[in-house]
């Protein structure tokens, strides 16, 4: 049996300082004593309610965490050790324990199922699993969490029915299960959610009738149940929902149902959308609703005339297309109107130019008037709408009237005339801002060419009350910045796109203040504050922009290593945590001595182990993002053949889309091309030094089982594609000015490689197919064809067997050795 010798020493462990130990102990006896100490120390540091600790452990067991985001969920105490996504109350409650208050696990690529043990978190206020890949059913035990205020499960693959027990959540403010695969009826018990303001059940497969008992939800503001399989009648009782601002029920099957005339009593209604619901009957008179802005009753079987009483002046969207309406067009005078669609009805009579004559258009305003496929026979007034107006008249008898001047241009296919959203085009010096994936110029900064690292946020308006964003862009920017306590110049809307719904998806960039001491990036507390506002919905209410949702809040570049879950709530809590950590450290120190003494007997095995582990080289490369195999597999649809854009001696190249919607080119090494890990990481370290606006940027790499490089994607392909005519049929041609700019850009990139790179590099393979073009036709030099979507033709015009992706640059420092 082992014997362990403890030589005379002083052990300064807490209250045992100065105590001298000099016996010879058998290992099992000493281990028993140490185990007893460990129990005491762990008990002293235990802070979270034991039942909640067990619940969290069970919750993790039911999840599949491929990205290892929850790796610290078995280390220490949940509240003391700041488990990822777990937030606790900053004080002990009456039972003498700390309790979990919030769980934020959105966009963590989690799969698996939701554990019934969630019901053990009896003090939980926020449960957020948005935008993962969870399957299975929603546990009925969640209904036991009476303290719950936000239940956010949208954007998963949950199935089954909604448990009746969820109706017990009387303190719930927001319930989101949209974009799942849920089915069955909407429970009658939901009428007991007396504090709920937002019910988002859209994009599932719910069936049955809408419960009339939901009319008891006196605080309800937004009811979104579109894109389901609901049937039956529209409950007239919903007219009792005094605070209802958005009612969106599109794409259901209320066959034979009429729109209840009592809905005219919804005096706070801003948006009513009942598109494609198989509705019949007449349109109620909604003129008594003062703030109605968006009315969509299209694709139904509604009959009768359009009500002559004018709806609110705030109207932006009036869509009654694809019904069976008859009669003439009432006198429309809406100063903010963006869309009037009456196409595909049985309307007749005259068209009045007054629809647009009394509107005063700004540069960003747009009005689409779609009157196609009716029986209009005449036009009253001057048929000469301004440039901001798109008028569509095809399929009407008036198009056959040769006496009406210019009628022909409105009777054929019409393109929208309104200007698109413009962006700031300030020209700044190329080298004054770090040219990589994470730093850029703040476009609206009062300081010219202010360079900083923005926070990138995916955001979506789920039910906006307008059809065209440009006129409201400024007010939206003001709304967002005021809500975040930022200046207007700190927000840049990077892209805006309409999605089915209609919903408006956008990507926001938030820039730090140029007045801060660390002005090129937000500090950790600011990042935590901003994310807290987004994830907790602490935005002021706005019914016009509608309910919003956070799609992603990915920390990239200089923010990648921030742990925004680690903030301690107050000083007293910090002291308690420090005490617990000190106790645990003492226990660990005692254990470490035992392990060290035992390990002396097994030294040769440790040497063998270290020798094996030394082959697994890891290098920290600044500015390079490390991707997991799972991330890149998802980005490329599991390296599907449809995403393949090139092939070479090194391996295949795939087009991918990252979680933040960034397009990338993924270069995947084949087995025969694998390098040693040290050589692979050394090559990446070399490439990471190359930063120039006229070079294709390396974003990151993967060294997890496979070797992959991730580059920015170049959507306009190669210069050779353009000058050889490949792109002319679909994209046009390059004029002389563009060719000159491309040539200058390529020259600057090559000059940088030859004279400014560290170390300098001779390209050795300069040709048109290695000059790539981004979305703005900026030339970027590459030594491989990453962004080509078709094979190159050789000099004889025939296709080669593969696309070359071999790196052919040579460090200048090696030229002497090569010559020798």
Q: How confident is the model at residue 558 (pLDDT cuts 50, 70, 90)?
A: confident
- Residue 117: count of CB within 10 angstroms of its CB: 20
Phi-psi region of 662 (alpha: psi -120 to 50; beta: other; left: phi over 0): beta
Out of 65, 565, 765, 774, which one is annotated catalytic?
765
Query: Annotated binding site: which residue ranges?
Result: 667
Claim to verify: residue 469 and residue 445 sit in the same structural domain: yes
Percent of the chain at pLDDT > 90 equals 33
Q: What is the pLDDT of residues 593-604, one digit of tens each?
A: 434 443 444 443
When mean pLDDT is compared across 48-62, 312-326, 408-422, 762-776, the lowest value belongs to 408-422
Q: What is the pLDDT of residues 674-698, one digit of tens each?
A: 666 666 777 777 777 777 888 888 8
Say yes or no to pLDDT of 259 above 60.
yes
**What pLDDT shows up at residue 436?**
54
Span 378-405, average pLDDT:
84
Model confidence, pTM: 0.62
Q: Is residue 601 helix, strand or coil?
A: helix
Q: Is residue 218 part of a domain?
A: no
Q: Are the C-beta atoms of residues 307 and 327 closer than 8 Å to each other?
A: no
Claim to verify: residue 592 and residue 716 sit in the same structural domain: no
Q: Is residue 115 part of a domain?
A: no
Q: What is the pLDDT of residues 236-256, one digit of tens each?
A: 999 999 999 999 999 999 998
**What pLDDT shows up at residue 654?**
86
Query: Annotated binding site for ATP: which residue ranges?
Result: 667
Span 662-670, average pLDDT:
84
Q: Which stretches of 292-437 are DSSP H helices?
A: 354-357
Residues whose CB falls within 8 Å of the CB of residue 346, separated by 6 or more in sequence, listed in order: 324, 325, 326, 374, 375
Q: What is the pLDDT of residues 148-195, one digit of tens each?
A: 999 999 999 999 999 999 999 999 999 999 999 999 999 999 999 999
Claim to verify: residue 452 and residue 590 sit in the same structural domain: no
Q: Are the C-beta atoms of residues 536 and 126 closer than 8 Å to each other?
A: yes
The average confidence (pLDDT) of the chain is 77
**What pLDDT shows up at residue 568?**
39
Claim to verify: residue 775 and residue 636 sit in the same structural domain: yes
Give per-residue burial for 389-399: e unless 16+ CB within 10 Å, then b: bbbbbebbebb
Is the pLDDT higher at 799 or at 441?
Answer: 441
Give per-residue burial for 473-506: e unless 16+ CB within 10 Å, then b: eeebbebbbeebebbebbbbbeebeeeebbbbbb
**What pLDDT shows up at residue 514?**
77
Q: Is residue 238 part of a domain?
A: no
Span 455-459, average pLDDT:
88
Task: Say how far apart CA 550 and CA 534 lie, in whole Å.
Answer: 7
**What pLDDT shows up at residue 308?**
84
Q: What is the CATH number of the domain that holds 506?
A: 3.30.70
Is the pLDDT higher at 45 or at 354?
Answer: 354
Q: What is the CATH number of the domain that holds 698?
A: 1.10.510.10
**What pLDDT shows up at residue 805?**
35
When mean pLDDT is compared across 4-18, 218-232, 539-553, the lowest value belongs to 4-18
- SS3 track for 185-251: CCCHHHHHCCCCCEEECCCCEEEEECCHHHHHCCCCCEEECCCCEEECCCCHHHHHCCCCCEEECCC
Catalytic, 95? Answer no
Claim to verify: residue 647 and residue 725 sit in the same structural domain: yes
Claim to verify: residue 707 and residue 589 sit in the same structural domain: no
Q: Is residue 68 part of a domain?
A: no
Is the pLDDT higher at 262 or at 677?
Answer: 262
Claim to verify: residue 648 and residue 684 sit in the same structural domain: yes
Claim to verify: residue 797 and residue 655 sit in the same structural domain: yes
When mean pLDDT is compared across 227-231, 667-671, 798-802, the lowest value belongs to 798-802
**What pLDDT shows up at residue 723?**
81
Claim to verify: residue 630 and residue 749 sit in the same structural domain: yes
Q: Is residue 377 part of a domain?
A: no
**What pLDDT shows up at residue 564?**
65
Claim to verify: residue 575 and residue 474 sit in the same structural domain: no
**What pLDDT shows up at residue 127?**
96
Q: Is residue 104 helix, strand or coil?
A: strand
**What pLDDT shows up at residue 428?**
65
Q: Is residue 180 part of a domain?
A: no
Span 425-430, average pLDDT:
54
Say yes or no to pLDDT of 612 above 60.
no
Claim to verify: residue 676 and residue 811 sit in the same structural domain: yes
Say yes or no to pLDDT of 551 above 70.
yes
**What pLDDT shows up at residue 6?**
32
Span 495-515, average pLDDT:
86
Claim to verify: residue 551 and residue 442 sit in the same structural domain: yes
Q: Is residue 353 part of a domain?
A: no
Task: Say how far apart CA 673 and CA 499 lie, in whole Å.
Answer: 42
Task: Say how far apart CA 311 and CA 286 lie, in whole Å.
Answer: 6
**What pLDDT shows up at residue 150?**
94
Residues spanned by the domain of 580: 3-45+570-613
Decide which of 559, 580, 598 is a domain's last residue: 559
Q: Is residue 721 part of a domain?
A: yes
Into how many domains does the chain fold?
Answer: 3
Q: What is the pLDDT of residues 286-340, one digit of tens each?
A: 989 998 999 999 999 999 999 988 777 788 899 999 999 999 998 776 778 889 9
Q: What is the pLDDT of residues 693-715, one digit of tens each?
A: 888 888 888 887 788 888 888 88
């Amino acid at each position: 049996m082992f014997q362990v010798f403890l030589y005379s020493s002083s052990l300064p462990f807490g209250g045992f300082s100065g105590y001298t130990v000099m016996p010879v102990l058998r290992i099992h006896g000493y281990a028993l004593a140490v185990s007893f100490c460990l129990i005491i120390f762990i008990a002293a540091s235990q802070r979270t309610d034991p039942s909640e600790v067990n619940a969290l452990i069970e919750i993790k067991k039911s999840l599949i965490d491929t990205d290892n985001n929850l790796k610290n969920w078995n280390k220490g105490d949940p509240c003391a050790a700041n488990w990822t996504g777990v937030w606790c109350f900053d004080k002990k409650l009456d039972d003498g324990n700390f309790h979990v208050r919030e769980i934020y696990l959105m966009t963590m690529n989690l799969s698996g199922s939701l554990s019934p043990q969630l019901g053990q978190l009896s003090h939980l206020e926020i449960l957020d699993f948005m935008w993962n890949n969870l399957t299975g059913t929603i546990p009925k035990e969640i209904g036991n969490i009476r303290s719950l205020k936000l239940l956010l499960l949208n954007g998963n693959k949950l199935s089954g029915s909604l448990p009746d027990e969820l109706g017990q959540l009387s303190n719930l403010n927001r319930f989101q299960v949209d974009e799942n695969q849920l089915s069955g009826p909407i429970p009658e018990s939901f009428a007991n959610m007396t504090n709920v303001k937002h019910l988002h059940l859209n994009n599932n497969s719910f069936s049955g009738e809408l419960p009339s008992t939901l009319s008891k939800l006196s605080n309800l503001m937004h009811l979104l149940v579109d894109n389901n399989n609901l049937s039956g009648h529209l409950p007239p009782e919903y007219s009792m929902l005094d605070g209802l601002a958005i009612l969106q029920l599109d794409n259901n099957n209320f066959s034979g149902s009429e729109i209840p005339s009592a809905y005219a009593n919804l005096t706070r209604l801003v948006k009513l959308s009942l598109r494609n619901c198989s509705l019949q009957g007449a349109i109620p008179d909604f003129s008594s609703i003062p703030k109605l802005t968006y009315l969509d009753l299209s694709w139904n079987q509604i009959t009768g005339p359009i009500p002559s009483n004018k709806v609110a002046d705030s109207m932006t969207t009036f869509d009654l297309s694809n019904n069976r309406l008859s009669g003439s067009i009432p006198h429309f005078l809406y100063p903010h109107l963006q869309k009037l669609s009456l196409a595909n009805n049985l309307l007749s009579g005259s068209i009045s130019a007054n629809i647009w004559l009394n509107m005063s258009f700004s540069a960003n305003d747009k009005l689409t008037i779609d009157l196609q496929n009716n029986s209009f026979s005449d036009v009253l007034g001057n048929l000469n709408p301004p440039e901001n107006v798109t008028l569509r008249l095809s399929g009407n008898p008036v198009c056959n009237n040769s006496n009406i001047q210019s009628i022909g241009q409105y009777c054929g296919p019409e393109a929208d005339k309104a200007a698109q959203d413009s962006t700031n085009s300030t020209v700044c010096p190329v080298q004054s801002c770090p040219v990589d994936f994470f730093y850029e110029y703040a476009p609206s900064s009062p300081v010219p060419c202010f360079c900083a690292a923005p926070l990138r946020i995916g955001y979506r308006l789920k039910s906006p009350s307008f059809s065209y964003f440009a006129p409201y862009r400024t007010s939206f920017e003001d709304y967002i910045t005021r809500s975040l306590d930022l200046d207007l110049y700190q927000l840049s809307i990077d892209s805006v796109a309409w999605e089915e719904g209609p919903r408006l998806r956008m990507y926001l960039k938030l820039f730090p203040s140029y007045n801060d001491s660390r002005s090129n990036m937000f500090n950790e507390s600011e990042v935590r504050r901003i994310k807290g506002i987004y994830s907790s919905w602490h935005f002021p209410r706005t019914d016009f922009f509608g309910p919003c949702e956070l799609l992603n809040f990915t920390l990239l570049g200089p923010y990648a290593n921030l742990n925004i879950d680690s903030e301690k709530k107050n000083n007293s809590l910090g002291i308690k945590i420090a005490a617990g950590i000190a106790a645990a450290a003492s226990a660990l120190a005692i254990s470490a001595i035992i392990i060290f003494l035992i390990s002396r007997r097994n030294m040769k095995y440790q040497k063998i182990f270290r020798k094996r582990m030394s082959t697994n080289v890891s290098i920290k490369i600044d500015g390079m993002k490390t991707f997991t195999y799972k991330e890149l597999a998802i980005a490329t649809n599991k390296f599907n053949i449809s995403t393949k854009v090139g092939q070479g001696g090194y391996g295949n190249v795939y087009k991918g889309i990252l979680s933040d919607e960034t397009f990338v080119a993924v270069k995947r090494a084949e087995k025969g091309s694998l390098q040693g890990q040290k050589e692979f990481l050394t090559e990446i370290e070399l490439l990471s030094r190359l930063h120039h606006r006229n070079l294709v940027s390396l974003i990151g790499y993967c060294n997890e089982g496979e070797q992959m490089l991730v580059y920015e994607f170049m959507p306009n392909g190669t210069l050779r594609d353009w000058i050889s005519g490949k792109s002319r049929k679909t994209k046009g041609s390059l004029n002389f000015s563009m060719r000159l700019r491309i040539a200058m850009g390529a020259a600057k990139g090559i000059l940088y490689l030859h004279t400014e790179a560290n170390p300098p590099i001779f390209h050795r393979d300069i040709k048109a197919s290695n000059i790539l073009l981004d979305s703005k036709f900026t030339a970027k030099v590459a030594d491989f064809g990453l962004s080509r979507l078709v094979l190159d033709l050789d000099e004889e015009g025939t296709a080669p067997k593969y696309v070359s992706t071999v790196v052919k640059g040579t460090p200048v420092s090696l030229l002497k050795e090569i010559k020798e």
